[in-house]
Amino acid sequence: MKKRSPGSKLPSENELADKYHVPRFTARNALNKLEERGYIYSKQGKGRFLNNESIQIQLSLTGKVSFTEKMENMGYELKTENICCERITYDPTIFRILNVDEKEEVFQIGRLRYIDEEPIAIHYSFVSRSKFPNIVVDGPNILSMFSYYREYGINQFASNKTLLSVTFPTSEEQEMLSSKSMVPLIVVESDCIDAETGNVLEHTKIVYRSDRFKYDITMDA
């Protein structure tokens, strides 16, 4: 079979069935599996197409520089959409990391990231209201947590242990990231620290698409 370029249209189910002498449902199942894994995509009434080549993105695992600054420094066209600001129920792990007791109010600030108009990641920041009293009012408008912290006079950031895992998207994540159910997501969890005082500012969970992007996870010096 000839090599196809990204964006090229694939043969129809009937064409594949005739060419390889298999039932049509076999060809359909094969195409559906490829689509579930993100290798191809379909346009209603037009057919199926080969997905574009992956974009190489350096994914630093340190918290010294904001995601926005990293992407802009590499020349990517980044867009951020605030998707939530809501109080979470008691989570012993998150509350322990933030050094607050279960009576404290902890809020989740969610941002959806786009590169070149395509969704790439969901960022969740967990912060306590005791450290940021105006978070209820400010939260729905935050696009960059680092910019927000600078309003409080915090300008130097650090991070401690970073956890990297792989999971499959929930139905909500599939919708937000335009991702398929069988396409894994990369999950990075870490903490952002005020480098001057050592206080934990937030616990961060970032969910990245794995099908359209390749990530360089080399640690910063």
pLDDT of residue 186: 87
CA distance 19 to 206: 44
- Residue 113: both structure tokens together: 């990231």
Number of H helices, E strands in the chain: 7, 11
What is the pLDDT confidence band of residue 215, given thresholds at 50, 70 and 90? Answer: low
Percent of the chain with pLDDT over 90: 44
What is the pLDDT confidence band of residue 1, given thresholds at 50, 70 and 90? Answer: very low
pLDDT of residue 217: 59
Q: What is the pLDDT of residues 176-187, one digit of tens each?
A: 998 877 778 889
> Which positions ≥6 away from 20 have C-beta within 8 Å?
27
Three-class secondary structure of residue 101 per DSSP: coil
Q: What's the rounded mean pLDDT across residues 132-151?
A: 95
CB burial string 4-35: b at 16+ within 10 A, e below: eeeeeebbebeebbeeeeeeeeebeeebeebb
Percent of the chain with pLDDT over 70: 85
Neighbour count for residue 65 (Cβ, 10 Å): 13
- Are 128 and 106 spatial neighbours (Cβ–Cβ below 8 Å)? yes
pLDDT of residue 53: 60
CA distance 120 to 79: 10
pLDDT of residue 221: 44
Q: What is the pLDDT of residues 45-93, one digit of tens each?
A: 888 877 766 566 666 555 566 777 777 777 778 899 999 999 999 999 9
What is the pLDDT confidence band of residue 140, given thresholds at 50, 70 and 90? Answer: very high
Q: Looking at per-residue confidence, does 172 or 179 come out higher?
A: 172
**Angle at alpha carbon of residue 166, lines to 165 and 170, rounded to 5°:** 125
Q: Looking at per-residue confidence, does 168 or 51 come out higher?
A: 168
Q: Give Cα separations from 58 to 130, 213, 214, 216 (angstroms).
A: 34, 10, 8, 4
Three-class secondary structure of residue 1 per DSSP: coil
Which backbone phi and psi does 56 adopt, to 5 degrees?
Answer: -85, 120
Is a pLDDT exceeding 80 seen at residue 23?
Answer: yes
CA distance 180 to 95: 32
pTM to 2 decimals?
Answer: 0.74
Which backbone phi and psi does 177 adopt, to 5 degrees?
Answer: -95, 5
Is a pLDDT exceeding 90 seen at residue 27?
Answer: no
Mean pLDDT is highest, among 9-13, 44-48, 111-115, for: 111-115
Q: What is the pLDDT of residues 187-211, one digit of tens each?
A: 989 999 999 999 999 999 999 888 7
